[in-house]
Chain A
Amino acid sequence: MKNKGIVITGGSAGLGLALAKTFVENGNHVVITGRDPKKLEAAASGLLPADSNSGGSLHTIEADISQKASVYPTALEAQGVLGKVDLLINNASSLGKTPLPLLVDSDCEDLEQVLQTNVLGPFRLTKALLPGMLLRKSGLVVNMSSDAAVSAYPQWGHYGLSKAALDHLSRIWNEELRGKGVDFVAIDPGDMATALQFAAIPDRDPNELSDPEEVARALFRFLSARFQNRAENTRPQVRFSADAWRAQS
């Protein structure tokens, strides 16, 4: 992929930042969002040297994806900056309360907040960016999932059910819009050494975890191929476990 317009939510840290870097280095125009302006600033300045050679560019938008009032302005601003959006990566995500509680000890308000960030945010942003994709008959939407969407890990309840919902959302989008040129995937990136991982499991051995930059490079290959074949009117697999997409990248 080169010279594409790309929106990555939660692009100021972890996997989102690594993906932004990889896409910019490959000559793409990337908008990243995040809540903390300082983190966004740092991300932007960290990326500059690579920019100049590749022809790619990075733009930041301060936005909380869990808020309806911030999703729609973000979509408009991103389209204004990029001209067109080819690829949307719904990557920003909330674990909910940490330490992770049992469901029986959790509050419904916390569940609500997790769903706002992990399901409603991606739904709204996708909806806001779809018109351009449908009119051009071209686009790829990536929803970042997790193995917690499939395995019922105790204490990962809010997060796990939100990711399961996001997986299913991806399948239904895909079903409804088959043959319209817009493709959907849900991807479990696998366990990575990021803030989210250590917030969930503080004593996790970093040696068991992937480096998000390596994951981003592999995902770049996988997504480039997927984007290339987006118009194929077959019944493509929508959800990919960490092993499944790795096998194809």
Chain B
Amino acid sequence: MNVFTQVHQQPATLASPATSAERRKEAGLLSVHAASGHSAITNLSELPRFFEAGDVLVVNNAATIPASLSLTHVASGTPLELRLLTPREVLLGESEFSWHSWLAAAFSQGSWRQRTEERTQIPLLRVGDLFATEDPLVQLEITGFHNNEQRLPEVGFRAAEKSLRSFLFKHGRPIQYSYHKNDLELWDVQTPFATQPVATEAPSASFHLSWELMFALQERGVRIVPVTHATGVSSLGEPELDRLLPVPEFFAVGQEAREIIVEAQAINRQVIGLGTGAARAVESAFGGEAASSGSTSLLLSGTHRLRGLTGLLTGMHEMGSSHLRLLDAFVPRPWLLAGYEKAVAAGFLWHEFGDLCLISEKA
């Protein structure tokens, strides 16, 4: 069987977050043993079995901001959609997260139901151009272009801090996906750990987790540790631009989180990242130039030696993509694919409200 062709891609009407609450309890779990390659299909509710006292589950506490803005390009009078990608400071490698200036992606207005590939025609944009918003107190100005790409303007808000905030949270919308049946509302894109409003796309591996499950883990002596990773947009609809992704993203690992992870390492316990964002945050924080927060461009791959984590709990990653490469840091590819074949046979779903995969040394 060729798993590359068998993967259940996003069917047009399937991925509705409204179903996620019901799906939560019966989400599938593929476990892959990182040391032996043994894999098995089970149910997410069985997750606590794979943990013991002293183990750590690191979760991403990023909340998803409404990063899609409807604006008018003043010079041409053209309505546009801007998707905020990452704060400009973070792009420049600074450690502050600020809402004032952003790297954004421009899309022709259209309807978000159109695929982004069909929405690449935009008017000529120039540095200094203004975007008008629904709020007369708030304008955006183009301050530059990322990689000289017209579709990736760097924009600065021309507004007082308070107007900017209220504009963003009142008029911004979550980024939409053409394959969803219904519009995504702000509450649809929050995970059970959503705390810090920094992500522009939801850290989707957490969607199926419940606090009931977290409490069951805690009862076993597992420590749930929050870190922050500003999960960003994963596709811009144009291969040329997608090559520039992911752009540097904000992360933070607090002192307490670091201490708990170090403690677990010292007694040889598992440290499992929930989702690739949590993984990138931890591996960045435990990197060569260890920092507690800042900008990360770290890409996990087969050549990366894990420094903080011992395993990963994540969604089913698309085949042949950079997403799959990331898992090479945790398990040899053939073992993963052997597990994926079982998952395909078991009817696993491969989208952000789909099933999950645990790669660990105890799976």
Contact = CB atoms under 8 A, between A and B. Distances in A.
Interface string A37-81: 000000000000000000000011110000011001110110111
A73 B66 contact: yes
B193 A77 contact: no
A10 B169 CA distance: 19
A72 B189 CA distance: 11
Contact of A79 (B63, B162, B224): B63
A148 B211 CA distance: 33
B115 interface: no
B195 A73 contact: no
Interface stretch (A13-21, A127-135, A227-235): A127-135
A62 B196 CA distance: 20
Q: What does DSSP make chain A's interface, helix, strand, loop or mixed?
A: helix
A134 B192 CA distance: 10
B200 interface: no
A201 to B, nearest CB: 36
A134 B211 contact: yes
A235 B194 CA distance: 29
A72 B192 CA distance: 13
Contact of A77 (B169, B191, B214): B169
Contacts of A61: 166
A180 interface: yes
B90 interface: no
Given A72-B186, A73-B186, A79-B195, A135 B169 contact: no
Contact of A132 (B65, B66, B99, B195): B195
Contact of B194 (A62, A77, A131): A131
A135 B195 contact: yes
Interface of B: 59, 61, 63, 65-66, 99, 162, 165-166, 169-170, 185-187, 190-197, 211, 214-215, 224, 226
Given A80-B196, A134-B211, 15 more contacts: A68-B187, A72-B185, A72-B187, A73-B186, A74-B169, A76-B169, A76-B197, A79-B63, A80-B99, A131-B61, A135-B193, A135-B224, A135-B226, A136-B226, A180-B215
Q: Which 8 pairs between the two chains have the least Cβ-Cβ distance?
A: A132-B195, A73-B169, A76-B197, A135-B226, A80-B197, A77-B169, A72-B186, A72-B187
